[in-house]
Amino acid sequence: MDRRKRYTITLDDDPIVHKIIAKITGMNSLPFSNPEKLVERAKSYDPVAIFIDIHLGVETLGLDIIPRLREAWSQIPLLVVTADPAAKWVGQALAVGANDFVRKPLIPEEFRGRLQARISEMNILAGKDEIQIFDVVYDRRFRTLHRDDRMTHLPNLEAKLFETLAENNGMAIPKEVLKGNLWGKVSISENALDKKVSSLRSHLRDLGANFELKSAYRGGVSFVESNKGRGNDI
């Protein structure tokens, strides 16, 4: 498996849920319905996040498996996703080690926002000064990108843009969210953001990176593997 590719894992007995999550996040989501199989194979995966349904069959609760998943993935967000309306599950999920709780049907904006927040929290707790995306390492302290023996320094706003996208591990981030992260409450045109995206693209090209920025019209911005770096799927 190519660990540079970004993906999530969905533990749910509904075969449609992982497809919905993949569409919302813009990343592939590997489906599991059997919690024991997921635990057995946990060490072979390096996901961005794990989504866990509460009711897995008649007698199995997803909450029961969370402590074991937390042992395998100490610094990866675990989010419980369920259609069960009972209020008791929220406290129980957090008590056994989940990072958040999201109810079905999933609302894309809420789901992306919660996931982005949990990823950022876990990165902060991990104290990561360096982030690796595909074949490039970013150093927060000096705002530099490294690839092999090449290095480039990012201006302040380009660095903020890179960090936001990197922390969310390939998930498409809405342009309005990016503008808020870069300029705060100041009203900025989409053209201003486009210029920063273009500038960051130039830095990545100078490094010869095997990924690039994808900017969708009226959509989000994300890192995607470039044609020259594509290999087998996960």
- Mean pLDDT confidence for 167-178: 78
Residue 58 has a pLDDT of 61
Residue 201 has a pLDDT of 94
Residue 172 has a pLDDT of 80
Residues 108 and 153 in one domain: no
Residues 12 and 91 in one domain: yes
Residues 44 and 69 in one domain: yes
Residue 45: beta bridge partners?
none
Q: Render pLDDT for 4-60 as a digit per residue (tens, 0 to 9).
A: 467 999 999 999 999 999 999 888 999 999 999 999 999 899 898 999 999 987 677
Residues 166 and 199 in one domain: yes
- 2 assigned to some structural domain: no
Residue 231 has a pLDDT of 43
Q: Render pLDDT for 114-139 as a digit per residue (tens, 0 to 9).
A: 888 888 778 766 666 788 788 888 88
Query: Residue 3 pLDDT > 60, yes or no?
Result: no
Residue 162 has a pLDDT of 92
Question: Residue by residue, what is the 3-state secondary structure of 31-63?
Answer: EECCHHHHHHHHHHCCCCCEEECCEECCCEEHH
- 1 assigned to some structural domain: no
Residue 100 has a pLDDT of 93
- 110 assigned to some structural domain: yes
Give φ, ψ of 59 to 5 degrees.
-115, -5
Distance CA 128, CA 130 (A): 5
Q: Residue 212 to residues 110, 196, 197, 203, 222: CA-CA distances in angstroms?
A: 26, 14, 10, 10, 8
Residue 126 has a pLDDT of 67
Residues 114 and 153 in one domain: no
Residues 80 and 181 in one domain: no
- 209 assigned to some structural domain: yes
Helix (H) or strand (E) holding 182: helix 175-183
Distance CA 213, CA 231 (A): 18
- Which among 99, 126, 153 is the end of a domain? 126
CATH number (domain holding residue 165): 1.10.10.10
Residue 103 has a pLDDT of 92
Q: For residue 65, count other CB atoms closer than 10 A to its CB.
A: 19
- Which among 126, 158, 177 is the end of a domain? 126
Query: Residue 113 pLDDT > 70, yes or no?
Result: yes
Sign of CA dihedral 72, 109, 198, 187: negative
Residue 2 has a pLDDT of 40
Work out the mean pLDDT of the chain and round it to a whole number: 86
CATH number (domain holding residue 69): 3.40.50.2300
Residue 217 belongs to domain spanning: 130-229
> How many separate domains does the chain show?
2
Residue 28: beta bridge partners?
7
Residue 133: beta bridge partners?
136
